[in-house]
Structure 1
Amino acid sequence: MAILKHKFFKPFKNWFILILTAFIIWMLFFDDNSWLIHHELNTDVEALENEKEYYKKEIEKDNKAIKKLSTPDGLEKFAREEYYMKRDNEEIYIIEYEDSLKTKKNE
């Protein structure tokens, strides 16, 4: 009982303070709406908002690509660059440089 006579434990002799302390600890850590759960949910919301911004930028980039492909010149340029298509009266030579080749060293 000598421990309870210490200066630090004096406020905890009051029942209201004991109940209030228990309530605060319960609300911060153990309740369904605790601070820990709110913190975790806020982190998730922030991550989802960052992901939302990323996808908005990707949508804008894709819309620009769609606009370029909607013109005949843009479509022809894309077909020539990506699928190596050509007109009937043309010859295409593909020149590959050593640093652009995929090898095990630079993959």
Structure 2
Amino acid sequence: MAKKTNKYIKPFKNIFVFILLMFVVWMLFFDANSWLIHHELNSDIEDLEAEKEFYKNEIIKDKKAIKELSTEEGVEKLAREKYYMKQENEEIFIIEYQDSLPKNKEK
């Protein structure tokens, strides 16, 4: 009785098909330029592009702040609002509302 071969296994008995299949598997998974490494590098590039955009926006904000602080009025405004500084002949009253105060968890 003749031995039946499976129609799916028959192409893999050809040495050329087998070598081609091994080459494709090697190039996709094991080579230094494999698909997995390219996928990882592409995700790193996307992360770096997002970080680049973030820093560009931060540079724009900083340039705007430097421009505002380059004038005498800008420096005075910053000193009054952030550091509560005052001139000699004036008094400062800081008004804090109940809802703007941090809530204490201690009771």
- TM-score, length of structure 2 as denominator length: 0.91
In the TM superposition, 1:22-37 aligns within 5 A as 22-37=22-37
User: Structure 1 CA distance, aligned partners of 2:70 and 2:44?
Assistant: 38
**Number of residue pairs aligned between Structure 1 and Structure 2:** 103
Task: Provide the residue aligned with 1:59 in structure 2.
Answer: 59
Match of 2:85 in 1: 85
The within-5 A match list for 1:1-107 is: 5-104=5-104
Separation (CA, whole Å) in 1 of partners of 2:98 and 2:82:
20
> C-alpha distance in 2, partners of 1:24/1:31?
10
Superposed structure 1 runs of 4+ greater than 2 Å apart: none
Quick one: percent identity of the two aligned structures?
Answer: 66
Aligned residue type for 2:57: K
Structure 2 gaps of 5+ residues are none
Q: Which runs of 5+ in 1 are unaligned?
A: none
TM-score (norm 1): 0.91
